[in-house]
A = this chain, B = another copy of it.
């Protein structure tokens, strides 16, 4: 899992039933110093009503992502926004 910032939404011809009503979000990975990565990102299925600019927790493993979507471990997905990050205590 990693922390990222939502940069935008992706509109695609994908019409998979698993995605109905869920947005595909472009999330840039945040580095350890808090800056956005210039290269690392994922297109994530949103499960946390995240909006552009939000700092979120990304779960980047297929089996886990499918469980979050709640469909008995099936569904074509690799990464999901799992929650909004309230704060990181260091």
Contact = CB atoms under 8 A, between A and B. Distances in A.
Chain A's interface size range is 35 or more
A53 to B, nearest CB: 11
Interface string A5-27: 00111111111100000001010
A10 B88 contact: yes
How many protomers of this protein does the assembly include?
Answer: 5
Interface of A: 1-3, 7-16, 24, 26, 28, 31-33, 36-39, 41-44, 48, 52, 57, 59-68, 73-79, 82-90
B43 A32 contact: no
Given A32-B28, A62-B63, A82-B14, A44 B75 contact: no
B57 A12 contact: yes
